[in-house]
Structure 1
């Protein structure tokens, strides 16, 4: 991350200016927000600022010995703590190493900074071990926790941090940012990605790199075939062997919210235009009680997916599709 990294997410500049205005800082921060709004970039830029020996205009100078070491990836007073593999837990032995690091004297004679990302990946033993470091902070040592789901952290951890929410940018700001980040796409394609990303622009870029638009088209076509009884749930589940379950659950959550808006009169048309014909038809025929029951089941299982529960992939997709189709059969 460059020294001016914070400017790559300009919607966070108001928070940045407040945090860097003073010379005294909390010993622990919790940067929280939706996935893809730039929390990790913010934390890296703030770490750079804290480690810099000669910060200028509320930024790391990029020139001092500390900045040069950090840019080379060899700063002895900066520690990044993350899972060994994506989706795995952060274990207690890693947090013990963090505690040892925080107890040492800064080798560069300045501050020490730890970035812990994602904080909710800590298992219970690791989280309890972290509490000791939070309760007994070392001088000039800063712990920066980054979390998509702060509610999954122990309340005692949250209470010992300065919780800083990092917002999702406005639709206009996000689209302007995407026009520069994804110049080869047209406005409609960028808007579709941003909708899938829940308004988070960095998430939209990640979805583009995953070719999520193509995956989404396959799912939409499959769901339409399912509702017309042209395709079975089991066959569709077999046809999507690499489709990320979190994406699938998110799309069904989006469609369900559209159904609720249409059902209650909060909207006249669905936000998800690729289901513009299906969702209004369903909204007219699906009973509200069935819709609420379905939403409860869906949110419960989405939580299990986000929490890395060991779900049977094919069985989950098949069950999801069967329950979706049964909504139309309960009228």
Structure 2
């Protein structure tokens, strides 16, 4: 059964302990904080034929079918390929499922993740099921970025913010998951994951620190004119585009913060602290604000799965970055 993490216990008690359940829930919060595990546990509880308090029994026919991945009244909807959109045909299958009678005589449960991956046609197709509930169906929508959902989708769901764990809970969980890592390494992983422990674990498995070291070294070479924008754009081919934009957005914010406050504690991770300070001291604030606006706009295009020329986009970024330390 899916794990309910320590920082979710109070929310779990409130959700699982409800006498009556809404037709649709929107579980939202940053990626990597355990929303999927919470939704899976709630789905098991809703489908269970003999729940034991707040938990599914794990022994009834419904629980056994769910564990085997063959429950006829459970529908999982997610992109067919990583980082791709949820298509309208997939949502039509969901709508057909919702209109059918539950085969085991209880509820039907849909789990949809991430909800913001639905394209506009798919989102509009889902609205009918949200507007006209059918029988004992419960839709569990998971969203990492609820602002990207149609307002009409959000308004037809019970919106439930999921808590971001505190630093102590995150470190404790990550320490258990990665016992071979030092405290400093765990702390660095959490910073790179924006405080989300499950994202930190995933990033560790993807070799994030090695990737970042390669990018940081490239940025330093760029500023010393030891590498060109085109060379680095090609060399970073294996680094996810969103990860690169996350880092450059963060660095531009740190530069601006230091320009405004002069606070040495606000320079970010040690690997780029000296570079951030150098750029803050040598760059006109207008240039920093301009590249920050550009980075945020391009990051939105990446999130929206726009058809982008990766190499040209990175070259444009790096040319602007190299031009930062100069006259305004």
What's the TM-score, normalizing by structure 1? 0.96
Alignment match, 1:46: 42
Q: Matched residue of 1:164: which SS? A: strand
SS in 2 for 1:276: helix
Paired residues of 1:290 and 1:330 also in contact (CA < 8 A): no
> CA shift at 1:76, angstroms?
0.5
1:295 aligns to 2:292 (yes or no)? yes
Where do residues 190-209 of structure 1 align in structure 2 (5 Å cutoff)?
Answer: 190-209=186-205
Per the alignment, residue 279 of structure 2 pairs with 282
Paired residues of 1:37 and 1:169 also in contact (CA < 8 A): yes
- Asked if the contact 1:49/1:58 (under 8 Å) is kept, the reply is yes
1:59-208 equivalences in 2 (<5 Å): 59-208=55-204
Deviation at 1:105, TM superposition (A): 1.0
Aligned counterparts, 1:245-284, within 5 A = 245-265=241-261, 267-269=263-265, 270-284=267-281
Task: Give the direction of change, closer, same or farther, for the CA distance of 1:303–1:266 in structure 2 (3 Å limit).
Answer: farther
Measure how far apart 1:260 and its partner are.
2.1
Shift of 1:266: 7.1
1:33 aligned partner:
29
Cα 1:54–1:261 shift into 2, 3 Å: same
3-state SS in 2 of match to 1:163: strand
How many residue pairs are counted as aligned between the two chains?
Answer: 327
Say whether the 8 Å CA contact 1:255–1:272 is kept in structure 2.
Answer: no
TM-score for both structures, normalised by structure 2 = 0.97
**Mapped partners of 1:22, 1:222: distance in 2:** 53
Any idea what the Cα deviations from partners look like across 1:140-160, whole Å, max 9, x if unmatched? Answer: 110011111111111001000
SS at match of 1:277: helix
TM superposition shift of 1:296: 0.4
Unaligned runs of 5+ in 1: none
CA contact 2:282–2:326 (8 Å) conserved in 1 = no
Where structure 2 has 5 or more consecutive residues not aligned to the other structure, the ranges are none
SS across alignment from 1:328:
coil
* 1:148-199 superposed Cα distances (whole Å, 9 cap, x missing partner): 1111111001000011111221111111110001111111111111111111
- Is the 8 Å Cα contact of residues 284 and 326 (structure 2) preserved in structure 1? no
Asked if the contact 1:53/1:64 (under 8 Å) is kept, the reply is yes
* Equivalent runs, 1:211-222 vs 2, <5 Å: 211-222=207-218
Q: Offset of 1:211 from its aligned partner?
A: 0.4
The runs of 4+ residues in structure 1 deviating greater than 4 Å are none
CA shift, 1:6, in A, is 3.5
Q: Which residue of 1 aligns with 2:323?
A: 326
> 281-290 or 175-184: which moved more?
281-290
Q: Considering only aligned residues, what root-mean-square deviation do their CA atoms show, in Å?
A: 1.2
